[in-house]
Amino acid sequence: MTRRDIAIANFKSGYNCSQSIVLAFKDILPEDENTLSRLASSFRGGMGRLREVCGSVSGMFMVAGLLYGYGGPEQGKVKADHYARIQELAHRFEEKHGSIVCREILGLTVRHDAPVPEARTDAYYKKRPCTEIIGDAAEILEQYIMEHPV
């Protein structure tokens, strides 16, 4: 299975957008599955259904931080290099989806959505492009990692 397939399968099994991405890369990350899942649990629906940054984008950023990030109060080039990496991932995602903001991608006008997520029914999957978005985010991140080995 590709990382795309794994991320989509994660989502369809009930994980949120961010968890789906992070767990698709769990085999190369330095944390256990439960810790990764808990770390990513707050980022669904644009951060707790606030409809801000897409959860799959947040998941990409978490994986990038665990693989390439810095661990202390670094300044200058270390931070700039990492922020450039994050901006590049965001740009690649924006090229496919026009934005990294959940509500903009989904065409929603609501900023702060109800905290209760919608049931994952066939109708849900038909009206939301989340499955494809998650797959695209996994592909973008996988390609980036191949281009920039750890």
pLDDT value, residue 111: 80
pLDDT at 40 over 90: yes
Q: Would you state the structure tokens that stand for residue 121, as one six-digit string?
A: 């029914």
Q: 64, exposed or middle or buried, with CB in 10 Å at 0-12, 13-18, 19+?
A: buried
Average pLDDT, the chain: 95
pLDDT value, residue 134: 98
pLDDT value, residue 30: 95
Q: 84, exposed or middle or buried, with CB in 10 Å at 0-12, 13-18, 19+?
A: exposed
pLDDT value, residue 22: 98
Residue range 98-145, pLDDT digits in tens: 999 999 999 988 888 888 888 888 888 888 899 999 999 999 999 999
Number of domains in the chain: 1
Q: Which domain holds residue 66?
A: 3-147
pLDDT value, residue 121: 85
When pLDDT is averaged across residues 27-34 and rounded to a whole number, the result is 98
Residue range 50-88, pLDDT digits in tens: 999 999 999 999 999 999 999 999 889 999 999 999 999
The pLDDT > 70 percentage for the chain reads 100
Q: 107, exposed or middle or buried, with CB in 10 Å at 0-12, 13-18, 19+?
A: exposed
Does pTM surpass 0.85? yes
21 CB-near residues (< 8 Å, 6+ apart): 7, 40, 55, 56, 59, 60, 62, 63, 134, 137, 138, 141
Question: What's the rounded Cα separation, in Å, for the pair 35 and 7?
Answer: 17
Give the bridge partners for 53, in sequence order: 101
Neighbouring C-beta atoms of residue 29, cutoff 10 Å: 17
